[in-house]
Structure 1
Amino acid sequence: MDIDVVLPCLDEEAALPWVLERMPDGFHPIIVDNGSTDRTTEVAASFGARVVHEPRRGFGAACHAGLTAATSDLVCFMDADASLDPRQLPRVADPVVSDEADLVLGRRVARPRSAWPTHARLGNAVLAGRLRRRTGAPLRDLGPMRAARRLDLLALHLADRRFGYPLEMVLRASASGWRIAETDVDYLPRTGRSKVTGTVRGTVRAVADMRRVMAEQNQMAAGRS
């Protein structure tokens, strides 16, 4: 089974060779360039990856551009900074392929522990706890490595184009009755500095986006009741 893998990118020239060399057979990378100023697109093309350009800045904008460009029945998402090992993509894809789940997230297990800064790990834990209470989904992490069927994802009509996109995906999937599951994946020291978790400011911005999405979805749910 062919599976498209969406990798949002912003200046990931240094990390991409390691990432693309480790892409498993049958998993086809879609590099979504979100305004890189380095050789991200040239490196991606040299490895035979499909390159999509998304001029609108934002993590969600890049993810959604990759989703709309994908053609396979099943789509995976993952970061392109070498913090996640593409060889572990089958861990999140297989339960969807076998129809055991509709959306699978990779729960990040830091190896070593310092790979995941404390401020980012704590912020994620707080949001994951709220998400469990809101949806009942057994999630301990809003992991960026995930898998679902393409047409089902498009039918969710995801609207956020910033850091709230991953959270909105889970909230809308839960509201639609999806079976949501989680599996462990390694979280490694990234190549280069993170635009989000590498700084307290970036983490605060991401958490604010996710809280905004949570509040918006709560208002929508209240309006339907």
Structure 2
Amino acid sequence: MRSPRVDVVLPCLNERDALPWVLSRIPAGYRAIVVDNGSTDGSAKVAQAAGATVVTEPCRGFGAAAQAGLAAASAPLVAFCDADASLDPAELPRLVELLMADEADLVLGRRRPTASGAWPPHARLANAILAARISQRIGSRLYDLGPLRAARTAELRQLALIDRRNGYPLEMVIRGAEAGWRIVESDVHYAPRVGRSKVTGTVRGTIAAVFDMGRVLGRL
């Protein structure tokens, strides 16, 4: 394709069944960068067959995969999206428009569940507590630390994020706020994921994510 307007980074660990739908929803003019983070189910081959750019990141962790995708991005704008079909990449243009209109520097998708099982109570509670803590920290009210988000590529690289686990999204928000970024939320649909959850769908995964984010909050 021609030089993309937006690169969409999709951290991926065993999402073979979800990828076809997710990649079919990438908007025109956007490029999908699937970062294979150790999949054993053939996710990389599925992504390649669908026309996505595939990057391999052997170091496990959401932040490691997201950062590898950011390093591979060449478009002026970069977005991040889960590869499990819980979020719809077709909604990204609404977020990107806020950047292009110079109304924001970081746009976060505020998740609105489409079904009762989309966002388990323990995960929603943990997110609400963390969002409240971050709001207090940055002096601006945020309601969600959702994984669907968009920013300017060069400026995001300048933040030099260092977390390579689940604290990466939180570090992005805090570092961005410290840099004077305008952080805006925009509602997005949140559906039940395809396949088995590795993080917020399980109590153990949620506890690990909260621990990672708490560690980042304590360090920054």
SS of corresponding position for 1:113: coil
Give the RMSD, CA atoms, in angstroms: 0.8
Q: Which amino acid aligns with 2:182?
A: R
Whether the aligned pair in 2 keeps the contact of 1:138 and 1:181 (CA below 8 Å) is no
The answer (yes or no) to whether the contact 2:132–2:141 under 8 Å persists in 1 is no
Aligned to 1:114, the other structure's residue is in SS state: coil
The within-5 A match list for 1:35-74 is 35-74=38-77
In structure 2, distance between residues paired with 1:136 and 1:90:
27
Instruction: Choose which of 4, 8, 13 in structure 1 pairs with 2:11.
Output: 8
Aligned partner of 1:111 among 96, 111, 114: 114
Q: 2:88 aligns with which of 78, 82, 85?
A: 85
- Deviation (angstroms), 1:136: 1.9
Partner of 2:134: 131
| Greater displacement, 136-145 / 176-185 | 136-145
CA contact (8 A) 1:158 1:168 kept: yes
8 Å contact kept, 1:137–1:181: no
- Aligned mate of 2:187, from 167, 184, 188: 184
For 1:204 and 1:107, the matched residues in 2 are separated by 21
Q: Specify the code of the residue in structure 2 equivalent to 1:107.
A: R
Matched, 1:142 2:145: yes
What SS does the aligned partner of 2:107 have? strand
State the SS of the aligned residue for 1:206.
Answer: helix
Alpha-carbon separation, structure 2, partners of 1:137 and 1:47: 40
Which consecutive aligned stretches of 4+ in structure 1 deviate over 3 angstroms post-superposition?
none
Q: Aligned AA for 1:26?
A: G
Quick check: 111-120 or 154-163, which moved more? 111-120
The residue matched to 2:180 in structure 1 has which SS? coil
| Percent of matched pairs sharing the same residue | 61
When the two structures are superposed, what TM-score results if normalisation uses the length of structure 2?
Answer: 0.97
- Return the alpha-carbon distance in structure 1 between the equivalents of residues 132 and 94 of structure 2: 23
Give structure 2 stretches of 5+ with no counterpart.
none
Which whole-Å CA distance do the structure 2 matches of 1:65 and 1:171 have between them? Answer: 20
1:101 aligned onto 2:104: yes
Describe the SS at the equivalent of 2:117: helix
Query: Offset at 1:86?
Result: 1.1
Equivalent of 2:176 in 173, 177, 185: 173
Q: Distance in 2 between matches of 1:156 and 1:113?
A: 36
TM-score (norm 1): 0.95
